[in-house]
Amino acid sequence: MGLLVDGKWQDKWYDTSKSGGKFERQASKFRDTVNSDDNGTFTVESGRYHLYVSLACPWAHRALIFRKLKGLEAHIDVSVVHPEMLDNGWEFKDYPRATEDKLYGFDYAHQIYTKAEPEITSRVTVPVLWDKQTETIVNNESAEIIRIFNSGFDALTNNHDDYYPEALREEIDTINNMVYHDINNGVYKAGFATTQEAYEEAVNALFHALDMVEERLSKQRYLVGSQITEADWRLFTTLIRFDAVYHGHFKCNKKQIADYPNIFGYMKELYQVPGVADTVNFDHIKRHYYYSHTMINPTQVIPVGPEQDLMSAHGRESIE
Ligand SMILES: N[C@@H](CCC(=O)N[C@@H](CS)C(=O)NCC(=O)O)C(=O)O
């Protein structure tokens, strides 16, 4: 774990000393887009872009789901880091379902960042959308990468499925905001808190938000009505990790997702959408968190459970 300062890797854990024990996530640095405008830097082309991910990471997982659902696998290839993130940050090393760095053969993900910008000061996070032509990072913010994938390549793929439809944008943005702060990032705020107060504040907000989601999903099939939107996929990648990791490792243990009948059924329904289960890898997920965060789990022992049949009937058909 560490970060790049003036292009040099420094091994440092998150500093919570100036924020009263609270974990504060930094803003992503590369925020460009891909579009069909011929004058733009990053134009729509098959094979031009590359996606760097971890199968463990909920933010990278969003991008993998959108790549799958939008038929982009033939157009955007992927390199997958090793699940353990230790002194050198994310690495490319031999491991089942991990890959080498398919573009440069680098050993470390931080080399991708310094390839883009030699003197960079930044955390080294995944996902990264890379442009092979200009050899730089287009975007390293998952919320934006999924928007690019949602519609940016439609002319190429002829897949016009829209997870951010114009008419629902306001509601999607409102839900995303709550889900991001209290759930997606909420589990990290609980897990990385270094004071009792900061931890309790995060855990209470998290379960309050989950209770609200449970109530909402008792009346409607998806977060924003009767169609699956971006808001659902953004929530899904946290839900699917919850019982396996966040409940124990991040001490989010008031309840499991399996204790929420509506959320659990909803999560299973999303898991069963064709192609999605292939993007979920519990080995990478559990190994990453339990093995990498040695200040939370110094023995690096990885729990065996939970045993859950995610392909069992989700029972959501009767809800409109
Ligand atoms: N805002 C970013 C966050 C991505 C992120 O934090 N990824 C984690 C893995 S789950 C990471 O790479 N962390 C390394 C670090 O913080 O140094 C996004 O959504 O793309």
Domain boundary among 157, 186, 220: 157
Is ligand 1 within 6 A of the CB of residue 142?
Answer: yes
- Say whether pLDDT at 21 is over 90: no
Q: Are residues 62 and 134 in the same domain?
A: yes
What is the average per-residue pLDDT within 290-303? 96
100 phi and psi, to 5 degrees?
-75, 170
Whether 103 maps to a domain, the answer reads yes
Q: What is the CATH number of the domain that holds 32?
A: 3.40.30.10
Is ligand 1 within 6 A of the CB of residue 57?
Answer: yes
- The answer, as to whether pTM is greater than 0.90, is yes
Whether 284 maps to a domain, the answer reads no
Residue 24 in tokens? 């504060």
- Ligand 1 centroid–CA 26 distance in Å is 9
- Ligand 1 centroid–CA 190 distance in Å is 16
pLDDT > 90 in the chain, percent: 91
Ligand 1, atom nearest to 3 Cα: 17
Q: What is the CATH number of the domain that holds 204?
A: 1.20.1050.10
Whether 208 maps to a domain, the answer reads yes
Whether 291 maps to a domain, the answer reads no
Helix (H) / strand (E) element for 114: namely: helix 110-116
Q: Which pLDDT tens digit goes with each residue over 194-251?
A: 999 999 999 999 999 999 999 999 999 999 999 999 999 999 999 999 999 999 999 9
- Say whether pLDDT at 159 is over 80: yes
Q: Are residues 14 and 87 in the same domain?
A: yes
Whether 41 maps to a domain, the answer reads yes
Q: Are residues 120 and 173 in the same domain?
A: no
125 phi and psi, to 5 degrees?
-110, 160
Whether 46 maps to a domain, the answer reads yes
Report the pLDDT value the prediction gives residue 249, as an integer from 0 to 100: 98
Q: What ipTM did this prediction achieve?
A: 0.98
Residues comprising the binding site for glutathione?
Answer: 90, 123-126, 141-142
Distance separating alpha carbons of residues 174 and 19, to the nearest angstrom: 26
Domain boundary among 129, 157, 185: 157
- Ligand 1 centroid–CA 51 distance in Å is 14
CA-closest residue to ligand 1 atom 6: 125
Residue 282, Cα to own-chain centre: how many angstroms?
14
What SS3 state is found at 94?
coil
Residue 307 in tokens? 């045993």
- Ligand 1 centroid–CA 136 distance in Å is 18
Residues comprising the binding site?
Answer: 90, 123-126, 141-142
- Ligand 1 centroid–CA 128 distance in Å is 10
Is ligand 1 within 6 A of the CB of residue 263?
Answer: no
Q: Are residues 225 and 101 in the same domain?
A: no
Q: Are residues 128 and 178 in the same domain?
A: no
Report the pLDDT value the prediction gives residue 1, as an integer from 0 to 100: 77
Q: Are residues 19 and 97 in the same domain?
A: yes
Report the pLDDT value the prediction gives residue 38, as an integer from 0 to 100: 64
Distance separating alpha carbons of residues 251 and 262, to the nearest angstrom: 22
Which residues, in sequence order, are CB contacts of 249 under 8 Å at separation 6+? 191, 289, 290, 293, 296, 297
Q: Which pLDDT tens digit goes with each residue over 242-283?
A: 999 999 999 999 999 999 999 999 999 999 999 999 999 999
Q: Are residues 173 and 146 in the same domain?
A: no
Domain that residue 264 falls in: 168-273
Is ligand 1 within 6 A of the CB of residue 123?
Answer: yes
Q: Are residues 102 and 173 in the same domain?
A: no
Report the pLDDT value the prediction gives residue 23, as an integer from 0 to 100: 84
The angle at the Cα of 96, spanning 95 to 101, to the nearest 5 degrees, equals: 55
Average pLDDT for the chain: 96
CA-closest residue to ligand 1 atom 9: 57
Long-range contacts of 145-150 (CB under 8 A, 24+ apart): 145/51, 145/62, 145/63, 145/66, 146/62, 146/63, 146/65, 146/66, 146/230, 146/233, 146/234, 147/33, 147/230, 148/33, 148/34, 149/63, 149/66, 149/67, 149/70, 149/72, 150/66, 150/70, 150/230
Gap between the terminal Cα atoms of the chain: 45
Q: Are residues 8 and 133 in the same domain?
A: yes
Q: Which pLDDT tens digit goes with each residue over 116-157?
A: 999 999 999 999 999 999 999 999 999 999 999 999 999 999
Q: Which among 251, 233, 255 has a CA at the least distance from the CA of 289?
A: 251
The residues annotated with a catalytic role in the active site are: 57, 188
Whether 204 maps to a domain, the answer reads yes
Is ligand 1 within 6 A of the CB of residue 257?
Answer: no
Report the pLDDT value the prediction gives residue 203, as an integer from 0 to 100: 98
Ligand 1, atom nearest to 145 Cα: 20
Q: How many domains does the chain have?
A: 2
Please say whether the beta carbons of 13 and 3 come within 8 A: no
Please say whether the beta carbons of 245 and 289 come within 8 A: yes
The DSSP code for 153 is T
Q: Which among 305, 25, 10, 9 has a CA at the least distance from the CA of 187?
A: 25
Q: Which among 300, 317, 312, 206 has a CA at the least distance from the CA of 251?
A: 206
